[in-house]
Structure 1
Amino acid sequence: MDFNRITKAKQKIGITYELKPEQITALRAFMESKDIVCLLPTGFGKSIIFQLMPFLSDDPMACVLVISPLNAIMKDQVRKLCENGISACFLDITGRDGSTYTLKPALGTDIEDDDEQGDNDDDTAEDVGNIQTKVSIEDVAAGKYQLIYAHPEAFLSSREGRKILHSKILHDHVCGICIDEAHMIQEWGEDFRKDFARIQELLGIFPRVPVSLFTATASQSTKENLVKNLGLRDPLFISKNPDRPNIKYYKYDRLPSVRQEDDLDKILGDIATGLQEDRRHYPLTFIYTDLESIRYGYRFLEKISKSEPVIRVVLATVALGIGLHAPAVRKVIHFKCPTSIEKYLQETGRAGRDGLPADAILYVNKTDVRTNRPGMQNSMRQYCISTDTCLRFQLLQHLNY
């Protein structure tokens, strides 16, 4: 019976491939109204789990709330759902505005051929499913969307968000609450985006609704804190070794911070040479660094980006370490170490999501690992200063693998 329901749900959102055992286990636990903690590697397909949930319910108006940290993640997932005829929307961080995308007819339905009507202009027609449109808060509260994506601030710090949460119609049909990138509750909840630390208030409004957490990286202490702080009820832990064998790790010393531009010149100079020699075939590369270095790097690379505007190098802050699905990234470079191994694995996990070989390169100096650096965890410091040769083992050991 469970298998048949999952198969029908897959058809509903256009999935034709076989689900992985961990995905099926999570969906079956959801159907049994269990709380779930999914610790699955980057690129594994965690989002597919909560996108299937509304269609496993007997309630035709079943709705799932998805708490997510970034607009880019929500927009991308909502757009893809809408392209498969699923009613989904996302709320911005203020909770006052929401958006969706023009729906295609649901899979399996006949699509009227506009050409036969003689009023379709191929030169002006837009791709259905890619037109972003506003949604009314009233429609969201009335349960017109099967998946509602939102920042925690949208629900907890806005009058409009509260109106949605306390709508009797919506309240009667919410069948699941999912928290994507759940590790951000601890990383951001203390002093950056404090509503992440208030998510338990949201869960308290729906006391009988199962809660699902999703993340790629969480230490034992992080898992314990999440379960305790969110009040999860005997959750089922579903985990898989986060090792990505196709990613090769490297670590190099860099110059003191007072000579930072010299280091950037060397690193970016090698990249610039490669771009000039063969821009189109240069491996897609992400460089994680701070805003000051991003400005410097942009000016450096801008000199060679006047012709053939094909993006091959992305200078990024930590925001790009969450949820982005770019399969062809071949190289991730950190010009400065993150403050935790969890963050490092999240960010290096952008590489090689297509399963092909990829490199993760870390440049580090003594300033990066100083004891008074805000948020710096000792496990990351030890990784940076260690002389052990197997970097992969050190990373996985922190997560008890």
Structure 2
Amino acid sequence: MRDLLFKISCAPRLPYRHFFFHSTPLCRVEFVFMLVSIYHIFIDRQILDRESDMHQNTHNNALGLKSKDEQRIAIDAVVGGKDVLAVLPTGFGKSFIYFAVSGITRRPAWVVSPLRSLIRDQVDGAGALGLNAAYIDGTLDKAHEKDVIRRLFRNELDVFLTTPEQLMRVEFDALFQRTNPSVVAIDEAHLISDWGGYFRPAFRGLGERIESLRWHYDTPICALTATADAQTQNDIKNVLRMKDPLEIVRSPMRNNISLSAKQSDNPLCEAVKAAVKAWHNLEGKGAILLYVLRQKDVDLAIGALMGSGVPIHHIGGYHGGMPDDKRDEMQNWFRRAEKPIMVATVAFGMGINRPDVRYVIHGSLPASVTRYLQETGRAGRDGKPAKAICFWSRNDVQTYQFLFGRRPMGWMFEKLYNAVAGGRLLKWDENDVAQVVGYQDIGVIRQLMDIATGHGLVDVVQDVPMIGVKDQHVTFNALEKLSRRDREGVFSVMRILQSDDIRSALKQAVNETDLQAIQNISAPNLKPKPSISML
């Protein structure tokens, strides 16, 4: 081609058609190939320029948001094929990371999320940024689900969201290979540790499942959460089988939230009074969250609020025992209502991104430092001043001790494992398990069975239990730490709330669990400089 270009450049300035029709056939063929090559070079250059501009603009405002340093670093790492664990505060914009990755790479982001309400919020959020998003969460009718699969198969989606349980479906194997996702994002990744054993065993299988999906493309994993101490971070990395992930950890505390606490003989009553006073002080469309410990406390608090003169249309209730459609209705109401008071258990909160929550009031002790940070962090996401007030009683500790007492203990796992190894448990049946373990609370036994299989301690094939791990002591220690952490968490919160300076005490507790900020990370080589606290 170089010789041909030289001949053309040296030839008399004749029209191209003259050259074409008066040259040899071989020269004409070479000329055509040259034009085709020049066309492809031009097109490739346009694509590269467009992708470069899009990559740059994504950090500045391509999706309608101004990116922060931590977001930019995470985006660069994932686009570069690196696994990322990002622990960033509530309201920080974690979803922007996988939205941007999809926009830059022109390949869909697969997002695994724990709650249907959170999934639907993310679909709405993606749509607001001009991205095509859809979900499969087990609630869609067959026609709707087929339509989502069709759109995914035709590469019409920028973001695809699903639950851990749905990701286990075998038909997703072919869809994953077909779409070649840009990233597999795990939202609210701390639940791998919190729920992976007791409530959602599918969380513990995410690592193995994702590994089986991404073997061909080596798709990067991006685990996202607002709060995770050092132990939880290690649990996330191990369960997801992340490969030398870049860890971006920023303090979950925000200075615009004032923290206060009061010990009381009747904390629920005090919390209701505080909520009524706060409601009268609200201006504009501000909102109030009132957290209570038990489901029955939701009804009690709602009745007390009504008796204190708050109109019923300003009061909502939410707990895990409500039907799914009722919970969805309450979440939608809270997002849109003017001056709402939402009375809720810990079941409410994840994915509820209302920026103008002015008060978060607790009517009991939060279960752990992580819970306290998460729940208070729902206030003041718009950056304006907000208040977090906690009323508590020592009776709350006794209530938690009772609740934690109805969870499996470390010795139960050891007895179960030894029974399976010794051939004394021939059928995976809750009554048989209760007999070999020597504990008759069927609720605890069911949790024991779920955790044992979820953590790989026991494998079950056609109702026959078999040994699932070679080094069972590692699993025993992990489960014992999880149980001990649950019990110690409430005492840690109590010590913090008893201190004269809650923020300083919380800062110390956060630093002790290695929830420190990483600043000035060099994006090109992705090597973090020494971290400093941003509390």
TM-score (norm 2): 0.60
What secondary structure, in the 3-state scheme, does the structure 2 residue paired with 1:394 have?
helix
Structure 1 segment 192-211 matched on structure 2, within 5 A = 192-204=199-211, 205-207=213-215, 208-211=218-221
Are 2:257 and 1:242 aligned? no
Structure 2 residue 304 is the aligned partner of structure 1 residue 300: yes
Q: Partner residue of 1:287?
A: 290
* Alignment match, 2:329: none
Find the counterpart in structure 1 of residue 56 from structure 2.
7
> Residue 286 of structure 2 contacts residue 338 of structure 2 at CA under 8 Å; is this kept in 1?
no
Q: How far 1:10 sits from its partner (Å)?
A: 6.3
Q: What are the Cα deviations for residues 217-263 of structure 1, in whole angstroms up to 9, with x where unaligned?
A: 111111112112211111001122222011111121122xxxxxx54
Cα distance change on mapping 1:218 and 1:176 into 2, 3 Å? same
Cα distance per residue 1:348-382 (max 9 Å; x no partner): 11001111111111122223224554163424413
Amino acid in structure 2 at the alignment position of 1:199: L
Q: Percent identity?
A: 28
The residue aligned with 2:465 is none
Matched letter for residue 72 of structure 1:
S
The CA RMSD measured in Å over matched residues stands at 2.9
> Equivalent residues in 2 for 1:21-100 (5 A)?
21-57=69-105, 60=106, 62-93=107-138
Residues 278, 380 of structure 1: alpha-carbon distance in 2 compared, 3 angstrom cutoff: closer
Q: Structure 2 unaligned segments of length 5 or more: list them.
A: 1-48, 315-336, 405-482, 517-535
Q: Are 2:372 and 1:324 equivalent residues in the alignment?
A: no
Shift of 1:192: 0.8
The one of 153, 157, 160 aligned to 1:145: 157
Tell me whether 1:378 sits opposite 2:488 in the alignment.
Answer: yes
Bigger Cα displacement from structure 2, 301-310 vs 343-352: 301-310
State how far apart, in whole Å, the 2-side matches of 1:48 and 1:24 are. Answer: 10
390-399 vs 5-14, which deviates more? 5-14
Report the counterpart of residue 167 of structure 1 in structure 2. Answer: 175
Q: Cα distance, 1:188 vs. partner? A: 0.8
Aligned counterparts of 2:493 and 2:162: Cα–Cα separation in 1: 35
2:506 to 392, 395, 398: 395
Q: Tell me the SS of whatever aligns to 1:249.
A: strand
CA 8–233 in structure 1, closer or farther in 2 if over 3 Å, else same: same
1-structure distance, mates of 2:387, 2:277: 19
Distance (Å, rounded) in 2 between the aligned partners of 1:175 and 1:283: 38
Deviation for aligned residue 1:143: 3.3
Q: Flag the structure with more relative contact order, 1 or 2, with Cα contacts below 8 A and sequence separation at least 6.
A: 1
Deviation at 1:385, TM superposition (A): 3.5
The AA in structure 2 aligned to 1:45 is: G
- Matched to 1:145, the amino acid is L
**Residue 394 of structure 1: how far off its partner (Å):** 2.5
Q: Secondary structure at the match of 2:384?
A: coil
Q: Which runs of 5+ in 1 are unaligned?
A: 101-133, 256-261
> Aligned to 1:363, what secondary structure does the other structure show?
strand
Residue 144 of structure 1: how far off its partner (Å): 2.7
- 2:275 and 2:290 in contact (8 A); partners too: no
Whether the 8 Å CA contact 1:141–1:163 is kept in 2: the answer is: no
Distance in 2 of aligned mates of 1:65 and 1:32: 17
Q: CA deviation at 1:279?
A: 7.0
- Distance in 2, matches of 1:165 and 1:369, equals 46
Q: Which has the higher helix share?
A: 2
> Which whole-Å CA distance do the structure 2 matches of 1:55 and 1:163 have between them?
26
Structure 1 pair 273–63 and aligned structure 2 pair: CA distance change class (3 A): closer
